[in-house]
Amino acid sequence: MSSQKNIQFSEEAMATVNKIISRYPEGKHKSALLPILHIAQAEFDGWLSPETMDYVASILKIQPVEVYEVASFYSMYNLKPVGKCLLEVCRTSSCWARGADDVVNYIGKKLNIKPGETSKDGMFSLKTVECLGSCGTAPMMQVGASFHENLTPEKIDTILDNYRADGRRRSYTDMDYKNTL
Amino acid sequence: MGKKLLIHNEHVANIHTLEVYKQHGGYASVEKAIKTMTPEAIVEEVKKSGLRGRGGAGFPTGMKWSFLAKPEGVPRYLVCNADESEPGTFKDRYLMEKIPHALVEGMITSSFALGVHTAYIYIRGEYFYVSRILEKAIEEAYAAGLLGKNILGSDYSLDLYVQVGGGAYICGEETALLESLEGKRGNPRIKPPFPAIAGLYGCPTVVNNVETIAAVVPIVMMGGDEYAKIGIGRSTGTKLISASGHINKPGVYEIELGLPVEEFVYSEEYCGGIWKGKKMKACIPGGSSVPIIPAELLLKTAAGEPRLMTYESLSDGGFATGSMLGSGGFMVYDEDTSIPMNLYTLNRFYHHESCGQCSPCREGTGWMEKVAHRLAEGHGKPSDIDLLWDIQKRIEGNTICPLGDAAAWPVASAIRHFRQEFEALIPKKEVAH
Ligand SMILES: Cc1cc2nc3c(=O)[nH]c(=O)nc-3n(C[C@H](O)[C@H](O)[C@H](O)COP(=O)(O)O)c2cc1C
Ligand code: FES
């Protein structure tokens, strides 16, 4: 996946990018970098390749290194390819106290992967993350834009089945998010 | 039932829409502020209210506002801190998701008071879907003439935007947040200068937490003096508490400051007691950065006074026997909880989140994670407990931003109150040496 085909935002994505840039004062367009990286990640296979980052730099007219240093600082930008559904399981204090380790183990066994790995079919990647602000509905995981809360083995089964049946790549920018509040 | 000022409409159907929000009195503070008050008068009401920052530090909001520099011809900014990444804290998400207009209204009224014409809500990237909800609310507000040019026919104009982050706890620290909003790594700045003088793009800036901004609405409506009557002493008004861990009813609760802690934990109205009929062992009452304390010290101070949900009461006894109200992230642990393992999860968190600028924090947090892990797993050495103590001491106070302190305090308090539990985990043959 290292050399990606034509890196070019769709017309729709480009319109959003321009709208975001217009939120900042004249000359301060670099402020748009974080939101645009999210869009780029969603558009180009769920990760930020060097080519993608260079493309974003060219849009914002900044140096590629300014993009690399930002992309590598924040935890939501994937610098390597990931499965279509990145399962991010929180394991900080409140989630740990209510069974986050069991969730990680259950998913790991079910998909035969460890945290940091991707299932053979490329559908799921597993990642352990830190507090996602969902401690009152622990244990929980985030998949793209959706928060899945109060997880049980049965619930996990259903969630994974649904994602597999749907088959689409999930992104933080998705509009069809699920949440249980 | 305590008074609710922020989420009293939480169960009203469709309260997230402008229409329903307005039917329930929404946006009255914007009307009142713009049509009948001067900006200075609003700042005065906020001062009188005694409102203290709800992001964790508890700094008086009116005072912060009055520090804002106002040089001619230079824009000033209001930035709402919706980064909410302190473990145990999820109240801002609840408020924004349930009643997004409460934040939008607070932003408009506050911006008017501060003479701000461009404002941003910086929200953690993981809350992407919440940013959609906010953007929808903002769109509605523009369409209703509550945002944009000549708000409600006045000569006051304001643009309000949402900016999503990229996943980094440190961006909750206000100067790191501003760096991030400028499209950079979230490295905290050295203060001074404070944001009130040189903040976003080097311009005077106020950074306030979501809940702080939302509280400006009832303060403007009822007046600062009335607001200050709620609560006790310097802990005025209501506070959103995020309750989690081993309780029967985790969730977000709005309390009047001054509520007895015991009532909060055990009454059906709030946490509903400890799950599975177990006993409470310990609690972190104000987000992961504040000291953990044993149940006895949570419910009563060392002097035997009932502990109250106020800034002062929760910190009574200092770090020796008290804790802090912090962000209101109230995490409860039952009698079966391993305090060393819990500490390890927190050490891992701070290690993961250290921005890496200051060596005591960058190196120390990783070291603490490693040592706490082997202790919790039962492979520790007798010297490890003192080692942990020593490392946290060397981090505390030696970093640019308070993340270092935030990483150190959980370690110090866990050892202070639960040393025996750490000792019991050290393999016997090691102890014999
Ligand atoms: C490491 C660190 C993380 C912080 N995280 C947050 C946060 O997520 N939300 C927040 O409102 N304040 C956070 N703060 C506090 C902010 O720096 C700042 O004090 C606050 O936004 C001011 O708003 P307030 O006065 O309304 O509370 C954090 C501080 C530190 C040192
Ligand atoms: S501890 Fe898992 S969401 Fe907060």
Question: Could you tell me whether strands B238-245 and B329-334 are parallel, antiparallel, or unpaired per DSSP bridges?
Answer: parallel
Q: How far is A95 from chain B (nearest CA, A)?
A: 8
Decide: B128 and A145 in contact? Cβ < 8 Å. Answer: yes
How many angstroms does the Cα of residue B169 sit away from the middle of ligand 1?
10
Q: What is the rounded distance in angstroms from the CA atom of residue A49 to the CA atom of residue B66?
A: 46
DSSP string, A47-70: S--HHHHHHHHHHHT--HHHHHHH
The continuous run of DSSP H or E covering B376 comes out as helix B359-376
Q: Which residue has the tokens 């109250």?
A: B308
Could you tell me the residue ranges of all domains in chain A? 11-73, 85-172
Q: What percent of chain B has pLDDT over 90?
A: 98
> Within 13 Å, how many C-alpha atoms sit on residue B133's CB side?
24
Q: Do B180 and A131 touch (CB under 8 A)?
A: no
Q: Which ligand 2 atom is the nearest neighbour of the CA of A132?
A: 3
Q: What percent of chain B has pLDDT over 70?
A: 99
Q: In this predicted model, what pLDDT tens digit does every residue of B344-376 receive, in sequence order?
A: 999 999 999 999 999 999 999 999 999 999 999
Average pLDDT score over residue span B210-234: 98
Distances from the Cα of B358 to the Cαs of A73, A146, B165, B350, B402, in angstroms?
Answer: 15, 35, 22, 13, 11
**Chain A interface test: which of B83, B126, B200 (most A C-beta within 10 Å):** B126
For residue B14, count CB atoms less than 10 angstroms from its CB and return exposed for 0-12, middle for 13-18, buried for 19 or more: exposed
The predicted pLDDT at position B428 comes to 82
The predicted pLDDT at position B90 comes to 98
The predicted pLDDT at position A179 comes to 64
Q: How far is B193 from chain A (nearest CA, A)?
A: 21
**Chain B interface test: which of A130, A148, A170, A177 (most B C-beta within 10 Å):** A130
Residues of A in contact with B88 (CB under 8 A): 93-94, 131, 135
DSSP string, B10-51: TTSTTTTSHHHHHHTTTTHHHHHHHHH--HHHHHHHHHHHT-
Q: Count of CB atoms within 10 A of residue B431's CB?
A: 11
Indicate if ligand 2 lies below 6 Å from the C-beta of A141: no
Q: What is the rounded distance in angstroms from the CA atom of residue B120 to the CA atom of residue B141?
A: 15
Q: Do A130 and B87 touch (CB under 8 A)?
A: yes
Q: Count of CB atoms within 10 A of residue B383's CB?
A: 13
Angle of helix B210-222 relative to helix B91-98, nearest 10 degrees? 60
Angle CA B290–B291–B294, to nearest 5: 135
The predicted pLDDT at position A5 comes to 65
The predicted pLDDT at position A176 comes to 87
Residues of B in contact with A73 (CB under 8 A): 166, 168, 185-186, 355
Which residues are bridge partners to B315 per DSSP?
Answer: none
Average pLDDT score over residue span B8-18: 97
The overall pTM is greater than 0.95: yes
Task: Choose the residue to mutate in A129, A131, A141 for probing ligand 2, maximizing ligand atoms within 8 Å of C-beta.
Answer: A131
Decide: B288 and A97 in contact? Cβ < 8 Å. Answer: no
Assembly ipTM? 0.96
Q: What is the rounded distance in angstroms from the CA atom of residue A147 to the CA atom of residue A139?
A: 11
Q: What is the rounded distance in angstroms from the CA atom of residue B412 to the CA atom of residue B392?
A: 7
Average pLDDT score over residue span B248-275: 98
Sheet hosting strand B118-123, strand order edge to edge: B159-164, B118-123, B77-82, B205-209
Burial per residue of B317-350, b for 16 or more beta-carbon CB atoms within 10 angstroms, e otherwise: beeebbbbbbbbbbbbbbeebbbbbbbbbbbbbb
The predicted pLDDT at position A1 comes to 45
Average pLDDT score over residue span B148-157: 98
The predicted pLDDT at position A2 comes to 46
The continuous run of DSSP H or E covering B255 comes out as strand B251-256
Listed residue (B302, B411, B271) closest to B350, CA to CA? B411
Q: What is the rounded distance in angstroms from the CA atom of residue A55 to the CA atom of residue A17?
A: 13
- Mean per-residue pLDDT over chain B, rounded: 97
Decide: B275 and B246 in contact? Cβ < 8 Å. Answer: yes
Q: How many residues does chain A have?
A: 181
Residues 44-103 of A with CB under 8 A from B: 60, 66, 69-70, 73-77, 91-94, 96-98
The predicted pLDDT at position A178 comes to 74
The answer to whether domain A85-172 has CATH 3.40.30.10 is: yes
Nearest CA to ligand 1 atom 1: B403
* Ligand index nearest the alpha carbon of residue B194: 1
Q: What is the DSSP letter of B150?
A: S
Under CATH, to which class is A11-73 assigned?
Answer: mainly alpha
Q: Do A130 and B349 touch (CB under 8 A)?
A: yes
Q: What is the rounded distance in angstroms from the CA atom of residue A2 to the CA atom of residue A5?
A: 10
Question: Do A11-73 and A85-172 show the same overall fold?
Answer: no
The predicted pLDDT at position A181 comes to 44
Instruction: Using 50 as the pLDDT threshold, list the residues of chain A that sit under it.
Output: 1-2, 181
The predicted pLDDT at position A177 comes to 86
Q: What is the rounded distance in angstroms from the CA atom of residue B240 to the CA atom of residue B215?
A: 10
The predicted pLDDT at position B216 comes to 98
